[in-house]
Amino acid sequence: MTETVGIDRMGFYTPDMYLEMTDLALARGEDPAKYHVGIGQDKQAVIPPTQDVVTMAANAAAQILTPADKAAVKMVLFGTESGIDNSKATAVYLAHLLDLPADTRAVEIKQACYGATAGLQLAADYVRARPTAKVLVIGADIARYGLHTAGEVTQGGGAVAMLVTAQPRMLALEPVSAYHTADVMDFWRPLGRTEALVDGRYSTNVYLDFFKTVWTAYQAQTQRTIADFAALTFHIPFTKMGLKALRQVLPEATPDQQVRLQAAFEASQLDNRNVGNLYTGSLYLSILSLLRHGHLQAGDRIGCYSYGSGAEGEFYSAIVQPTFRQGFDDERLTALLANRHAVSVAEYEALFTQRLDLSGRDVQLPIGEVSAQYYLAGRHQQQRL
């Protein structure tokens, strides 16, 4: 018998501060409606220098791992494009912080925003072959374009942690998916740069083209149609992007199905709208948002579109499990988002430039008011503290 394999639990972390998009719009001389409606973002996570992808991943993963899980985790697959070292994997730092056993494989996966999906699919194949093993998959990033850039409104950051197991509580991954790769220069970050370079409008077109390609390929493989889906979820660099993708396929649905898919999309973008782009974590925050705020039932099929610039696209599907609500701590996630405080544009701009730079010099970070369980204290002799 083929094992049911998928996402057993999910954790999410983003720091305790955010920037209001109305404030950013006014500071940049834009109409706030452009940011709230045209782009579809209300708040943007602001990442203090005391958080990087390793600490954010640890703060997300610590929410979901019991001592028994830690003993059973055989692999950590860390998807990120905000790596902190050209050689050593973020997953190795993370395994140490989480006190995982030494007989754990720990590696980092990079392909822009697609890295966590690669991790998830590799993890699922691994567990299908070894049903007692568990794999920790991370999507963690800090989305940075730079002050006064067109991409600034689409920044954000945070980490999603997923435990992949047999007989999962939340989502069973169907062992079928369609993927597509092409060498495209829509968004990239050359070595030595801390901000991405992007051909913004071109990137949105490539995202949509790839969606069309993998959606069509998935349907050809499975003979399924849009009627087979209770919800479609998307990589959400900004919520309007997901909406545009949804609108591409809505005409394939009946009016009733359209209403259902639109309502599900609304639920799936609520949390992303208040955090911003997480790069690798964005699709997974959106799935979590759908499970938290939507009206899904056991047996519902959700479609998942993952896109990473450069570019890689994948469409896969998952079945909602009867116990899905046991897989995340809804109250904790609501409190995490509600208890953040707003920073002014001036404070955000100061924090933007205070990250550990590429010089390698020693730095002691101000940790007096840090509330997170895991944080970065600075750098000494080219090593993080």
* Residues making contact with ligand HMG (CB under 6 A): 31, 33-34, 37-39, 81, 112-113, 150-151, 153-154, 186-187, 198, 200-201, 203-204, 207, 235, 237-238, 240-241, 277, 279, 307-309
Read off the DSSP letter of residue 111.
Answer: B
The least CB distance from residue 240 to ligand HMG, in Å, is 6
Phi and psi (nearest 5°) for 75? -155, 140
Alpha-carbon gap, residue 290 to 302, rounded angstroms: 10
- Among residues 300, 291, 294, 293, the alpha carbon closest in space to that of 320 is found at 300
- Identify whether 235 is a catalytic site residue: yes
Report d(CA 371, CA 195) in Å as an integer: 27
Q: Is 31 annotated as a binding residue?
A: yes
Residues contacting 128, CB < 8 A, separation 6+: 2, 3, 5, 175
Task: Choose, from 113, 152, 304, 314, the residue flagged as catalytic.
Answer: 113
Output 59 or 117, the one with its CB closest to ligand HMG: 117
Q: Which of 127, 124, 87 is nearest to 108 (CA)?
A: 87
134 is in an annotated binding site: no
Residue nearest to ligand HMG (CB): 38
Choose, from 81, 108, 152, 312, the residue flagged as catalytic. 81
Q: Is 277 annotated as a binding residue?
A: yes
CB of residue 177 vs ligand HMG: minimum separation in angstroms?
18
Rank residues 51 and 239 by Cβ distance to ligand HMG and give the closer one: 239
DSSP string, 22-87: HHHHHHTT--HHIIIIII--SEEE---TT--HHHHHHHHHTTT--HHHHHHEEEEEEE-SS-S-SS
Smallest gap, in angstroms, from Cβ of residue 69 to ligand HMG? 29
Query: Is the CB of 42 or the CB of 300 nearer to ligand HMG?
Result: 42
Grouping H, G, I as helix, E, B as strand and the rest as coil, residue 168 is coil
What is d(CA 9, CA 7) in angstroms, rounded to the nearest whole number?
A: 6
Catalytic residue, from 20, 108, 152, 235: name it: 235
Residue 274 labelled as part of a binding site: no
Phi and psi at residue 319, to the nearest 5°: -110, 130
Is the separation of the CB atoms in 365 and 50 below 8 Å?
A: yes
| CB of residue 272 to ligand HMG, shortest distance in Å | 11
Q: Which is nearer to ligand HMG, 153 or 320 (CB)?
A: 153
Minimum distance of ligand HMG from residue 307's CB (angstroms): 5
- Closest to ligand HMG by CB, 8 vs 52, is 52
Nearest-angstrom CA–CA distance, 61 and 71: 14
113 annotated active-site: yes
Q: Classify residue 204 as left (phi > 0), alpha (psi -120 to 50) or beta.
A: alpha
Q: Which is nearer to ligand HMG, 55 or 154 (by Cβ)?
A: 154
d(CA 58, CA 92): 11
Q: Which residues are annotated as a binding site for (3S)-3-hydroxy-3-methylglutaryl-CoA?
A: 31, 145, 244, 277
Q: Which residues are annotated as a binding site?
A: 31, 145, 244, 277
| Residues carrying an active site annotation | 81, 113, 235
